[in-house]
Structures are given as C-alpha cells and as structure tokens.
C-alpha cells in the first residue's frame, strides 16, 4: 500500500522561528486533505493551500494565500514524508512571495 502525506501534521521545528512564536496562537500545523485544498497556521500566519501530490515521491507541493498579522500574503511550499520506514514524520518548507522562507519538521497528528 502506498504511503500518504494526507493528514494533519503538527509542526515541531522551524528553521526561521522558535517554538514560542510558531505555537503562540495554536499548535502549529499543516493540514493536507486528499483534494489538495489544505490549510496551515504557525504564529500569526495562516493560509489556504492549493496543491498537487507526487505519489512517487510521497510529497505535496502547493501555493498558498493567507494573512500574516492581518496583512494579506502569499507564497509556496511543500511537505514530504521523511523516509520509507516512518509514516509519522515529515519535513517541508514554507516560503513567502519575495520574503522569508523556513524549513520545518512535523509529526503526524493523532
């Protein structure tokens, strides 16, 4: 059976922001539904994603629109399963259009 990136992922680490910031309003997450129209939130940033799945690579690439402290923003990103053996860990990157970019690590939510 093919592994899937579909599900909700709790962000556990970000290269650009510390845990106090990225979990300040809610536990930071990336939610990837099977239809490719997901959501995410970390810190004061929240967004809606529109993406595609690469089943061979077990990843999801997306563009997003949202807000950062109520200012409109957009960007792109991706999330991928970590390895052949671990279906409960992932890593990825979230980038702002012409701005910041951060890699992240995540764990599948229960």
Report the C-alpha gap between 56 and 78 in whole angstroms: 15
pLDDT at 82: 87
pLDDT at 2: 43
Report the C-alpha gap between 99 and 105 in whole angstroms: 20
Question: What is the DSSP track for 55-80?
Answer: TTTTEEEEEEEEEETTEEEEEEEEEE
pLDDT in tens, the chain (110 residues): 245 889 999 999 999 999 999 999 999 999 999 999 999 999 999 999 999 998 777 789 999 999 999 999 999 999 999 876 567 999 999 999 988 999 999 999 97
Report the C-alpha gap between 109 and 81 in whole angstroms: 14
pLDDT at 74: 98
């Amino acid at each position: 059976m093919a592994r899937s990136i579909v599900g909700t992922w709790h962000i556990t680490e970000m290269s650009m922001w510390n845990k106090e910031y990225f979990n300040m309003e809610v536990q930071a997450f990336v939610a990837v539904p099977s239809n490719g129209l997901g959501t995410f939130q970390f810190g004061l940033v929240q967004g809606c994603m529109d993406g595609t799945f690469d089943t061979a690579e077990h990843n999801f690439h997306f563009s997003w629109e949202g807000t950062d402290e109520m200012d409109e923003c957009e960007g792109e990103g991706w999330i991928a399963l970590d390895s052949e053996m671990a279906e409960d860990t992932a890593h990825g990157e979230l980038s702002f259009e012409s701005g910041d970019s951060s890699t992240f690590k995540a764990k599948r939510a229960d």
